[in-house]
């Protein structure tokens, strides 16, 4: 398998692919962050849904292509979708921690819509959405593969992440940001076997096939994320992975402890039973849970995602009190 994986990696590096850039209407900006509107003009009568991606990777995973887009699925289901683009941190953002991303970026962007919205956060975006929820009074909140109880990661994996940060922290502090390469190294270490398997499978994919195009789109997305501000990266490694601040109720935003179980709106946690990046047990304590055998990325972009995740989410958003 190792030789096949190396062959697949070489092919991935050499093959031509279309650009991932897709046109979006920019509704508002806040620092490096933008709020993109994917809904129809004049759609104010539709229920607004704000999609919040992870800080670690691009927002494009939620609108990857015409045929693989959670955002456009929601538009087709009658919602008014909005998409947060965190952008790339500027040098002056070095001290912007995770709570700062919520208070000074996410919350103002959500409020700019001017009407109540449902919030849907993917991966670390789900963690941040929960920090924003108490400040914006959302219609409902849903998370997909979002980490909260970091003490429920296997001890060996938390130790590997701690070791990685100890080695990388001095350089990151000097730079004022955490490079994407450091983050990739950390996440690959959580599921190294999957990394080998996916490139081994790619080695034998038919050139020009839909499977090849989908693989390229997802891998390009995974490899093109922006760096994290130094303070946000420090929080991620030290306060969350290292200290389980969220799981223990010690994470604060705007001076208030963030406690998802206290939210007054309907809440939903969609979690994967096969996820190594965010184990199912690490999910936040929300009022409704939905388990899926699809993986961390597969829950938002895969052949089975529209039927198994997108439609369920759409139905729940239509009637979150069910």
Q: What is the pLDDT of residues 174-215, one digit of tens each?
A: 999 999 888 877 665 556 666 677 777 767 777 766 666 667
Instruction: Check: CB of residue 244 under 8 Å from CB of residue 151.
Output: yes
Task: Quote the CA–CA distance of 295 and 256 in Å, as a whole number.
Answer: 33
Q: Which two tokens stand for residue 290?
A: 């939905």
**What value does the mean pLDDT take over residues 285-314?**
95
**What value does the mean pLDDT take over residues 53-75?**
91
How far are the Cα atoms of 91, 141, 170, 291 from residue 287, in angstroms, in the given order? 39, 10, 40, 13
Q: Report the SS3 class of residue 187.
A: helix
H or E segment and range at residue 28: strand 25-30
**What value does the mean pLDDT take over residues 277-297?**
96
**φ, ψ for residue 182 (rounded to 5)?**
-65, -45
Question: Any bridge partners for residue 120, and if so which?
Answer: 51, 142
The pTM for the full model equals 0.90
Look at phi and psi of residue 208 and say left if phi exceeds 0, alpha if psi is from -120 to 50, else beta.
Answer: left
Task: Quote the CA–CA distance of 82 and 27 in Å, as a whole number.
Answer: 9
Q: What is the pLDDT of residues 243-280, one digit of tens each?
A: 999 999 999 999 999 999 999 999 999 999 999 899 99
pLDDT over threshold 60, residue 20: no
**φ, ψ for residue 240 (rounded to 5)?**
-90, -70
Q: Which two tokens stand for residue 167?
A: 């080695």
Q: Which two tokens stand for residue 42?
A: 């004049």
What mean pLDDT value characterizes the chain? 89
How far are the Cα atoms of 31, 114, 308 from residue 313, in angstroms, in the given order? 30, 23, 9
Question: Any bridge partners for residue 85, and if so which?
Answer: 34
Q: What is the pLDDT of residues 107-123, one digit of tens each?
A: 999 999 999 999 999 99
Instruction: Note the CATH number of domain 2-318.
Output: 3.40.50.1820
Question: What pLDDT, on the 0 to 100 scale, is given for residue 191?
Answer: 62
């Amino acid at each position: 398998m190792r030789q096949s994986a190396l062959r697949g990696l070489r092919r991935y590096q050499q093959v031509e692919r279309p650009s991932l850039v897709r046109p979006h209407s920019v509704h508002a900006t806040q620092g490096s962050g933008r709020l993109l509107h994917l809904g129809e003009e004049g759609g104010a009568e539709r229920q607004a849904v704000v999609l919040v991606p992870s800080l670690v990777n691009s927002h494009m995973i939620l609108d990857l292509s015409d045929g693989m887009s959670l955002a456009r699925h929601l538009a087709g289901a009658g919602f008014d979708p909005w998409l947060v683009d965190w952008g790339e941190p500027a040098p002056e953002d070095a001290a912007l921690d995770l709570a700062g991303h919520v208070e000074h970026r996410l919350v103002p962007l959500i409020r700019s819509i001017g009407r109540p919205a449902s919030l849907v956060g993917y991966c670390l975006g789900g963690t941040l959405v929960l920090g924003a929820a108490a400040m914006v009074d959302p219609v409902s909140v849903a998370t997909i593969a979002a980490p909260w109880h970091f003490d429920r990661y296997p001890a060996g994996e938390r130790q590997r992440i701690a070791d990685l940060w100890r080695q990388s922290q001095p350089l990151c502090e000097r730079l004022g940001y955490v490079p994407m390469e450091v983050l990739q190294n950390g996440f690959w270490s959580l599921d190294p076997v999957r990394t080998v398997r996916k490139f081994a499978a790619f080695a034998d994919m038919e050139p020009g096939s839909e499977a090849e195009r989908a693989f390229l789109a997802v891998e390009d997305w995974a490899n093109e994320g922006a760096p994290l501000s130094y303070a946000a990266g420090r929080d991620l490694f030290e306060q969350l992975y290292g200290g389980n601040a969220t799981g223990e109720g010690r994470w604060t935003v705007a001076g208030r402890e963030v406690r998802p179980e206290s939210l007054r709106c309907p809440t939903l946690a969609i979690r994967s039973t096969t996820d190594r990046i965010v184990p199912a047990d690490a999910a936040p304590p929300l009022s409704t849970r939905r388990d899926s055998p699809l993986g961390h990325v597969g829950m938002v972009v895969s052949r089975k995602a529209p039927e198994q995740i997108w439609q369920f989410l759409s139905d729940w958003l239509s009637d979150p009190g069910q």
